[in-house]
Amino acid sequence: MQLQVHDDDLPLVLACLGIGILSAIRRDLQPPTMGIQTLGRPRFWEPLLDNPAIPPAIIDVFQTCDELDALQQLAPEQYTAVIDTLILRLENVVAESKNSAWNVHWIEHE
């Protein structure tokens, strides 16, 4: 299955996805390597670079997610604050969104 998201709704969907993943990492429900394995993968965020509907804050947060594991190891005293800041940046995208509902649907592969 594939989830199809309308371009107008993409920033809100991406921000909510990012908030969920970062919250799971923040609460130790998932390891910080999840940031590398999901949002921080270039193949995930690079296709978004040329989309004018995507706020730069989303791309920046996603790019930062590949550094969470290293941050936890090298600067553990800053780790939680950095994740909180990333979540806040995505929450700001949600708060600024003009859409209150998503135009998304599932596509089944034949």
With beta carbons less than 8 A apart as the criterion, state whether 19 and 90 touch. Answer: yes
Does some domain include residue 7? yes
The yes-or-no verdict on residue 70 having pLDDT over 80 is yes
Does some domain include residue 109? no
Domain count, the chain: 1
Does some domain include residue 64? yes
Does some domain include residue 31? yes
Mean pLDDT of the chain, nearest integer: 93
86: containing domain: 2-48+60-98
Does some domain include residue 108? no
Does some domain include residue 53? no
Q: What is the pLDDT of residues 41-52, one digit of tens each?
A: 999 999 999 999
SS3 letters across 15-65: HHHHHHHHHHHHCCCCCCHHHHHCCCCHHHHHHHCCCCCCCHHHHHHHHHH
Encoded tokens for 109: 């592969």
pTM of structure: 0.92
The yes-or-no verdict on residue 100 having pLDDT over 90 is no
How far is Cα 69 from Cα 98, in angstroms, rounded to an integer?
34
